[in-house]
Amino acid sequence: MSREPRIALYPGSFDPLTNGHVDIIQRGARLFDRIIVAILMNREKTPLFTAVERVDIAREVFANEPNVEIDTFGGLLVEYARRREASVIVRGLRAVSDFEYEMQMALMNRHLSPDLETVFMMPGEAYTYLSSRLVKEVFALGASVAGLVPPAVERRLLVKR
């Protein structure tokens, strides 16, 4: 029986993309027909990487994964999901501390768009302590971020130094 392709959105800032994000995207790519990594534009006034740079990085990292698409979005996530015909939002859950914010957002998105389902996935345990914010701090303090981010991010960070 044929069915509509199941399209998932993975929204976030990805400033920068970490190995925790990559882990979640790979899990999503195995579960759904397509996963769109949706890079939120213009939330932070001074991002480390511009939206264009973040798109370039993610496209490089997932160049060999045909069901991973990279896009940018602004405004209401549920509107963007409707436009992209996505039926699922993917979010990563690292620790209990993520839970409250994520639950509020999931329920608000359900209120706005009842058919859009939010799916939470846990990363491999090596990534549970990893966040873009910590990567930025570690890098700013001069330490190596090898193993925390894909090589494409590490390379671009070193250029910025």
> Footprint of ligand ADP on this chain (CB under 6 A)?
12-14, 18, 20-21, 24, 91-92, 94, 98, 123, 127, 130-132
What minimum distance in Å lies between the beta carbon of 34 and ligand ADP? 18
CB nearer ligand ADP, residue 1 or residue 106: 106
The catalytic residue positions are 21, 45, 94, 132
- Dist. CA 62–CA 77, nearest whole Å: 23
Please, is 67 exposed, middle or buried when counting C-beta atoms within 10 Å of its C-beta (0-12, 13-18, 19+)? middle
Nearer to ligand ADP, 7 or 40 (CB): 40
Q: Least Å distance between CB 3 and ligand ADP?
A: 27
CB of 2 to ligand ADP, least distance (A): 31
Residue with Cβ nearer ligand ADP (7 or 130): 130
Show Cβ contacts of residue 10 under 8 Å, excluding neighbours closer than 6 positions: 21, 24, 25, 28, 35, 36, 37, 38, 89, 90, 91
Q: How many CB atoms lie within 10 A of CB 24?
A: 26
